Amino acid sequence: MYRIIESDLLAANIYRMVVEAPRIAKHCMPGQFIIVIKDEFSERIPLTICDYDRTKGTITIVFQPAGASTTMLTELKSGDHFYSIVGPLGNPSELCSMSKEELSSLKILFIAGGVGTAPVFPQVKWLHENGITADAIIGAKTKDLVILEKEFNEVCNLYVTTDDGSYGRNGMVTKCLEDLVAEGHDYNYAIAIGPMIMMKFTCLLTKKLGIHTIVSMNPIMVDGTGMCGACRLNVGNEVKFACVDGPEFDGHLVDFDQAMKRAQLYKTEEGRAKLALEEGKTHHGGCGNCGGDK
Q: What are the tens digits of pLDDT across the range 103-142?
A: 999 999 999 999 999 999 999 999 999 999 999 999 999 9
Is pLDDT of 50 > 90? yes
What pLDDT is stored for residue 148 in this prediction?
96
Q: What is the 3-state secondary structure (H, E, C) of the chain?
A: CEEEEEEEEEECCEEEEEEECHHHHHHCCCCCEEEEECCCCCCCEEEEEEEEECCCCEEEEEECCCCHHHHHHCCCCCCCEECEEEEEECCCCHHHHCCHHHHHCCCEEEEEEHHHHHHHHHHHHHHHHCCCCCEEEEEECCHHHCCCHHHHHCCCEEEEEECCCCCCEECCHHHHHHHHHHCCCCCCEEEEECCHHHHHHHHHHHHHHCCEEEEECHHHCCCCCCCCCCCEEEECCEEEEHHHHCCEEECCCECHHHHHHHHHHCCCHHHHHHHHHHHHHHCCCCCCCCCCCC
What pLDDT is stored for residue 102 in this prediction?
94
What pLDDT is stored for residue 279 in this prediction?
56
Average pLDDT estimate for 20-46: 92
Q: Which CATH architecture has domain 99-216?
A: 3-Layer(aba) Sandwich (3.40)
What pLDDT is stored for residue 292 in this prediction?
41
Q: 2-87 adopts what CATH topology?
A: Elongation Factor Tu (Ef-tu); domain 3 (2.40.30)
What pLDDT is stored for residue 289 in this prediction?
43
Whole-number percent of the chain with pLDDT over 70: 86
Average pLDDT estimate for 196-225: 89
Domain limits of the chain?
Answer: 2-87, 99-216, 220-294
Q: Write the pLDDT tens digit of every residue in 270-290.
A: 444 544 555 555 555 444 444
pTM above 0.75, yes or no: yes
